[in-house]
Amino acid sequence: MSIMAWTAVILAAGKGTRMASCKPKALQMLAGRTLIGHVLNTLDNLSIDEAVIIHSPEAKSDFEEELIGRNNITYVEQKEALGTAHALKTALPHVSTDNLLVLLGDVPLLSGFTISKLQEEVKKNDLVVLTGTVDNPSGYGRICKDSDGKPSAIIEELDCDDEQRKIKEINSGIMAFKTNVATNLVEKIKPNPKKNEYYLTDAIEIAYHEGIQASTYLTSEEEVFGVNSKKDLSEAEKINRKNITDKLMDSGVTIIDPNRVDVRGTLSCGQNVTIDVNTVFIGDVKLGDNVTIAPFTIVSNSVIGDGTSIYSHSNIDGADIGSSCNIGPYARIRPQTKLEEGARVGNFVETKKSVIGKGSKVNHLTYIGDAKIGEKTNIGAGTITCNYDGVNKHQTKIGDEVFIGSGVELVAPIEVENGATVGAGSTVSKHVPADKLTIERSKQKTIDGWKRPTKKEEK
């Protein structure tokens, strides 16, 4: 056991009844990530040596599946949800450090800074409770203090008298302990007479009577927000959204309406970026300088270069977009698309696993898949790269300064050489040579004396 080693015990075995969901509460999604995922992410940048997750028996595989790839996690089953103190007691045999943090799987917005403050506090005291002052304390345990300001008890809502119910300093449920102190206290907690559950909150009153050094650490209402219901979940989205948009605006991003931008991951922005309403950013997104994102646009896991404009209703996923490009409105840019400087992709165009070269244009109603397009090439409206033969995918290669007329089908594998022109309406399936017109179109004919059919009289 090293002196200042820490274990984070995350309690997530409760029934979560108020969520009215078949999914465990800690696996509900907030801003594109599970609640417990938020807690674990916060721990990532701190000096925490191991995490113990307390889960219900039926949720084991759900947790393991969701949190796959994360290291140093021990999953411990709490056979029956007998309360938060019982949950901690279940975890203790798996704690090998001399300090521990109790975190809740349903308190996702806690900051790493605050946790590190709790860790510092435990150097001075045996135990510290994280509290918040809230306007409406209902549903939270209330913090009672003696005349010296020392915490003397935490009273749960159901057990509060009228005076206690008015207390606005609440228990966040987050606590930090010296492990031996937690072990000693948890042993002494008796079931709550009303609910028949072991309340970890009772540890404070016992500590007070035993002269154990306990303190509180106060933080913002937003950080300690506990998520018990779907309404709480949407409230947490609101708080999280505000945290993110505040930071972005502080760094100079113009956000037309911060209530209508969702960031489900990490968004980094250069200078003079404008983000319009009803936009969603998913995963890792990087926007360069002078980028504008128009309404109803979704950008996932992509890089957008300097001076690029994304027009409304576009969906960009897994793409590398160069500088000074224009995309949309109504464009669908799928994974492994690369747009080089000054390329344009217009309305109702879908691209996938393709490169669109410098200054090239694909402006209307087109599918470009498994293709490489050179520089200054123009792809006419309604062009389709026929990349799939029903079994395998094939490549289309189009050179520089090519002109593809409207309504062309390029049956892959195929190459169109530099400077070639393909006539409108052609279905080309053979090599297209450079600097010539290639056309595949049946002769137009006009039939003399042809009569339009007329409507038959109904009998």
Nearest approach, Cβ of 213 to ligand UD1 (angstroms)? 21
Cβ atoms of 103 and 111 closer than 8 Å: no
The pair of structure tokens assigned to 133 is: 């002052």
**Region from 12-20, 59-67, 203-211, 265-273 binding ligand UD1, contact rule CB under 6 A:** 12-20
Q: How many residues does the chain have?
A: 459
Q: Is 203 in the site for ligand UD1 (CB under 6 A)?
A: no
Nearest approach, Cβ of 86 to ligand UD1 (angstroms)? 6
Selected from 27, 48, 107, 214, the binder of ligand UD1 by CB under 6 A is 107
Q: Which does 28 bind (CB under 5 to 8 A by kind): ligand UD1, Ca ion, none?
A: none
Chain centre to alpha carbon of residue 165: 36
Cα gap 434→212, rounded to integer Å:
86
Looking only at residues 244 through 303 of this chain, which bind ligand UD1 when binding is defined by CB under 6 A? Answer: none
Selected from 6, 63, 177, 199, the binder of ligand UD1 by CB under 6 A is 199
**Among all residues, whose Cβ is closest to ligand UD1?**
141
Nearer to ligand UD1, 100 or 408 (CB): 100
Cα gap 371→398, rounded to integer Å:
8
Write each residue from 214 to 233 as x if it is in contact with ligand UD1 (CB under 6 A), else as -, in one continuous string. ------------x-x-----
Show Cβ contacts of residue 187 under 8 Å, excluding neighbours closer than 6 positions: 89
Nearer to Ca ion, 130 or 343 (CB): 130
**Region from 69-77, 197-205, 259-267, 325-333 binding ligand UD1, contact rule CB under 6 A:** 197-205
Q: Which does 297 bind (CB under 5 to 8 A by kind): ligand UD1, Ca ion, none?
A: none
Q: Is 140 in the site for ligand UD1 (CB under 6 A)?
A: yes
Nearer to ligand UD1, 26 or 127 (CB): 26
**Region from 10-18, 180-188, 276-284, 355-363 binding ligand UD1, contact rule CB under 6 A:** 10-18
Catalytic residue chosen out of the listed positions 94, 364, 394, 431: 364
Q: Is 78 in the site for ligand UD1 (CB under 6 A)?
A: yes
Nearer to ligand UD1, 39 or 327 (CB): 39
Q: Is 86 in the site for ligand UD1 (CB under 6 A)?
A: yes
Q: Is 156 in the site for ligand UD1 (CB under 6 A)?
A: yes
Nearer to ligand UD1, 199 or 296 (CB): 199
55 classed as catalytic: no
Cα gap 157→154, rounded to integer Å:
10
Residues that bind ligand UD1 (CB under 6 A): 11-14, 25-26, 54, 78, 81-84, 86-87, 104-107, 140-141, 154, 156, 170-173, 199-201, 226, 228
Which residues are annotated as catalytic? 364
